[in-house]
Amino acid sequence: MAKRISVFNRKKINDDKILLDCLLNDESSFAVREAYLKLCTNIMYIPSEKKCKTIVVTSAIPGEGKDLLSANLALTLANYAGNNKVLLIDSDLRCSEISATLSDNEIYRGLSEYLAGDDEEVYVSKNSKYGSLEVVLSGAHSSNPAALLSSKRLPEAIRRFEEAYDYIIINVPPIEAVTDALLYSPIVDGYIISTKANYSNINRVSDAIDSIRDVNGKVLGVVLTSAKSNRSNCESCSYGNYKK
């Protein structure tokens, strides 16, 4: 049975308004959309033997923009970079901004219900506001997320999703904070690490990369967010007829 999650009510007042404002849409600046398209292009050209690419988006420490990065990456892959079937899984069972932002109402079910055995299938939600993007919300269970993510049901679900989607983007908690992100290493193609300009620490990012490698995970690359717009960005804003 779906439950009301009071923790999200508190967060909605503060944070997810910001996340919602920054989600990619037609009103987003040209420079930002182009930046996400470039990122998608780079991801598309990462060689993979499988039809579907399963990518975990994480960060070294909290506050480095991984929620926004994973949401916008999924939105771009789904709506702006071709007709890809994209699934965004919010696997941050502890402090999810994505679920709080993308859910239509505060009563919802998601990954944790499936992992806990409450649901037979993972509930996938789809909101027309976000085009063809499909989302698996984090769910209501918040006790012992690491144990839930260690469940055998998780690889089974991912395997089933890989047959149905072109890209699966999984948002997980920061690596230094909790171990959740590392539990995905055997079942995903790789990790993307979000870093934030003028905030992230290069040593911590290196440590996060090492942590992933220690569990035989593959780091596809890093993404720098909140970067200062340089001159070339401004020029590209008004390049020819491609502004809008």
Partner 1 sequence: MEEKNNEFSIRDLIGMILPKLWIVAIVSVLVSVAVGIYSSFFVKDTYSTTVQFYVHFGSSEANTIEIDKARQLVPVYISAYKSKSFGDDLLVEVNKSSYVKDNPSYKNLTASSLLSMLSFAQDDKVPIMYITVTSTDNNLALTVADALTSLSYDFKIGEDDSSVDETQPEKELSIHTLVPHKAEFQIYQRASLPEIPNEKNVEKSVVVSFFAAAVVTLACIVVYALLDVTIRDRRKLESGVDVPVLGVIPKHINAKNEEGKN
Residues at the interface with partner 1 (CB under 8 A): 21-22, 27-32, 35-36, 38-39, 42-43, 65, 68-69, 72, 192-193, 195-203, 205-206, 209, 219-229, 233, 237, 244
Q: Which is nearer to partner 1, 154 or 205 (CB)?
A: 205
Residues contacting 33, CB < 8 A, separation 6+: 24, 76, 80
Rounded to a whole number of angstroms, the minimum distance from the CB of residue 227 to partner 1 is 5
User: Token pair for residue 211?
Assistant: 């942590």
Q: Which is nearer to partner 1, 36 or 161 (CB)?
A: 36
Rounded to a whole number of angstroms, the minimum distance from the CB of residue 26 to partner 1 is 8
CA distance 40 to 234: 21
Rounded to a whole number of angstroms, the minimum distance from the CB of residue 18 to partner 1 is 9
Rounded to a whole number of angstroms, the minimum distance from the CB of residue 95 to partner 1 is 21
Q: Which is nearer to partner 1, 86 or 122 (CB)?
A: 86
Closest to 75 in 3D by CA, of 21, 31, 129: 129
Q: How far is CA 29 from CA 33, 67, 122, 227, in A?
A: 6, 19, 35, 14
Rounded to a whole number of angstroms, the minimum distance from the CB of residue 216 to partner 1 is 15
Q: Which is nearer to partner 1, 148 or 220 (CB)?
A: 220
b/e code 120-138 from CB counts within 10 Å (16+ = b): eebbbbeeeebeebbbbbb
Q: How many CB atoms lie within 10 A of CB 164?
A: 12
Q: Which is nearer to partner 1, 108 or 167 (CB)?
A: 167
Q: Which is nearer to partner 1, 203 or 241 (CB)?
A: 203
User: Token pair for residue 70?
Assistant: 């994973």
CB of 55 closer than 8 Å to CB of 212: no
Rounded to a whole number of angstroms, the minimum distance from the CB of residue 17 to partner 1 is 13
Residues contacting 44, CB < 8 A, separation 6+: 81
